[in-house]
Chains A and B, each alone.
Chain A
Amino acid sequence: MKKFLGLFLLLLSGNASALNLFACEPEWGALAQELAGDKASIYIATNALQDPHHVEARPSLIARARRADLVACTGAELEVAWLPVVLRESGNGNITPGKPGYFEAARYVTMLEVPARLDRAEGDVHAAGNPHVQTSAHNYLPIAQALSARLSELDPGNAEFYRTRLNVFVQKWQTAIARWEKQAAPLKGQPILVQHTAFPYLGAWLGLKEIAALEPKPGMEPSVAHLSKVLGQVQQQPVKMVIRAAYQPSRPSEWIAERAHIPAVALPFSVGGTDGAKDLFGLFDDTIARLLAGLDGK
């Protein structure tokens, strides 16, 4: 149960003058925590064990958005099914898209897998590109910059504080990136399978080579027919492992892992996805440790 502890709770509270921050996903809550410390009271709308595409506009989310000063989300249509309803129903004019109280992380990074053809026959594709930007550590730098600037804009009294926290975070993060890249060097060029196309940013960063996805189309459940096809492909072109996000069912990964004799690796995907991913640093420590273990055939 410990791993669910950090999921649905106020990370900090009690400071009446604190900025109320509504984070759509745990990674943005964790980033805001790094950048704002006790100057923000953070509510995290989803947890790492939930499929962020498939969330409902629950009463609790609407109630929490009502008093939010800042909504920090991925954007790129990841939350298209529920966030617009939450924002409208909240009756909170400060967080409507376009206002300073509405922050989309994906706007500050280079999007990958921008579809050349927008067609639902291609599955659940997003017009702006693949929205899972939080899987590359590099993406956090421009996002942190922009989020910190937004915090200062909304709470100018503490601008100096936010700037200092940003500089501290950036330094720590750059050191960590250097460490992660060194650790992850053996992963470069390694062929892998992914269950959902959730890892293009991670793959591009660490040089992983995605051979195929278990989902026939993004967002569609893997069928046995498609899995068999992937299995045939893997027999022609061996892969090292199959990876999936913590929130995804393990069955398809295990099905193929058993037959292709490769490890099935569940990655935290966000803060709280595994016991090791307690914060942003833990998220990547654990992600890389799990990938390396997968490479060793564990």
Chain B
Amino acid sequence: MFKHSALFVALFAPLAAHAATDEDLRAIRAQIEQLRSDYEQRIAQLEQRLRQAEAGSMKAGSDTGQAQAATQQASLPAARGEGAFNPAVSLILGGTYGQFRQDPAIPATGFAMAAHIPPERGFNLGESELGISANIDPHFRGTATLALDPAGGVSVENAYIESLGLSNGFNLKFGRFFSGLGYLNEHHAHAWDFVDQPLVYRTLWGNQLGEDGIQVKWLAPTDTFVELGAEIAKGRGFPGTERAKNGAGAGVLFAHAGDDIGADYSWRIGASLHRTRRVDAQSDGVPDLPGTAGGVSNLFNGDSQTAGLDFILKYAPNGNIKDTNLKLQGEYFRRKESGMLTYDIAAANTTDSYAVTQSGWYLQSVYQFMPRWRVGLRYDQLDPGVALAGAANAGNVIGDYGYNPERTSLMLDYSPSEFSRLRMQVAQDKSRQGLPDTQLFLQYVMSLGAHGAHRF
């Protein structure tokens, strides 16, 4: 009882402090001192008992009664009440500094009608990400990732349910998730090896394709990893054009295969196919043949079909990635779009057929040359293709840009621990014709809370 009252006094002492006399303070200090020595004594006793118990169990180890196994299992830390059911929470804190000579908002040449999420200049609080996940019941697991926008908003990046314990290699996922196409698409920004996504992801997928829909995956019962997947979704992420109607707005098929070669190497290859119907897809600031200042706004209606190939090869001596390791990866995507294009909706407003095939690829390698330090090199290239515009727009729409955007990036990062990373990146950017740029990025990525997964 005495201890409790002392604790009470200790807790509320600051409130009453202005009224307390020196004598009161002395009394309180004495009580706190008493409290501290009491607890220190008790902790010492507990430690003593723990040591005895440990020594006892070491000796007891030599008899193998079943009872022993049973008691030891029972002695495991029991559930900590309600708190034990709290989901795993992780918070990613990230920030960048970017320095460019050219305006990063200018899209890659020939890709004004594609997606463009430009990097930002100066100091930026990149995306902080709050992740929460837990098993819901024996059948489902839930994961939510909330992106905290530097400007103050919160957006739902991922919010999906996964099946638990389905058998025969099936896995079901539904809700909002990153599509399983390609290799990089499922990786969250904090797991990227470079500050930014490859140009082909930036332009063809708006950095990465997030969907509202359903994904089914099936893993073949073979020693070699063979996985097939299908998704139907709303068409929320670029190039989909989200709309409220029955049915699905986009579909994805993908296949992955992978294995190890000895203990040193492991690999995965993949192929994917994405289809969507684009409805009233508006692009602004599109350059045209008449040379309209600031470009024009176009509207596209039609089919979009994208095929992709990806591979990754990893090397680590004896498979021990902690010390040194090397990754080599590359992806290629090719998008075919055909339909009707309305040119300059604000003025000319002429509609005619339009078809174009655009593609892009990247190849990158990241080498951890000593624990904590990695260096990476990436080369990106895009091909805007040659567009075929119907007669009505032949004099308006630029068909052939005659320029392939490209970029080379060099990255160095340092990870003081598994949970923190500091990165520097320099890019020689020739993605905009006539506007070559040298770009410098500094970045930090820190993760708090639940231990992140080491995905392949």
Contacts and interface: CB of A to CB of B under 8 A. Distances in A.
B162 A58 contact: no
A81 to B, nearest CB: 4
Contact of B263 (A8, A142, A145, A205): A8
A224 interface: no
Interface residues of B, number: 67
Contact of B453 (A57, A109, A114): A57
B428 to A, nearest CB: 31
B320 A247 contact: yes
Interface in A23-82: 46-47, 49-51, 53-60, 62-64, 66-67, 77, 80-82
A109 B69 CA distance: 8
Interface in B314-373: 314, 318-323, 371-372
B76 interface: yes
A261 interface: no
A128 interface: yes
A136 B54 CA distance: 13
B62 interface: yes
Interface in B259-279: 259-260, 262-263, 266-268
A82 B451 CA distance: 10
B76, B371, B416 interface centre (most CB from chain A within 10 Å): B76
A35 to B, nearest CB: 13
Nearest to B259: A60
A96 B167 CA distance: 11
B171 to A, nearest CB: 5
A139 B456 contact: no
Nearest to A93: B165
Nearest to B77: A128
Given A47-B318, A89-B219, A204-B58, A109 B72 contact: yes
A139 B320 contact: no
A72 B224 CA distance: 21
Interface in B270-295: none
B166 interface: yes
B221, B222, B263, B454 interface centre (most CB from chain A within 10 Å): B454
30 contacts: A47-B319, A49-B318, A54-B320, A55-B454, A56-B454, A56-B456, A58-B266, A60-B258, A60-B260, A63-B220, A63-B259, A66-B169, A77-B451, A81-B453, A89-B219, A90-B169, A91-B167, A108-B73, A110-B72, A124-B417, A127-B77, A128-B76, A138-B62, A141-B64, A145-B68, A146-B69, A174-B62, A219-B418, A247-B320, A249-B371
Interface of B: 53-54, 57-58, 61-62, 64, 66, 68-69, 72-73, 75-77, 138, 141, 162, 164-171, 217-227, 256-260, 262-263, 266-268, 314, 318-323, 371-372, 416-419, 448, 451-456
The 5 closest A-B pairs by CB, nearest first: A59-B258, A138-B61, A59-B225, A93-B165, A63-B225
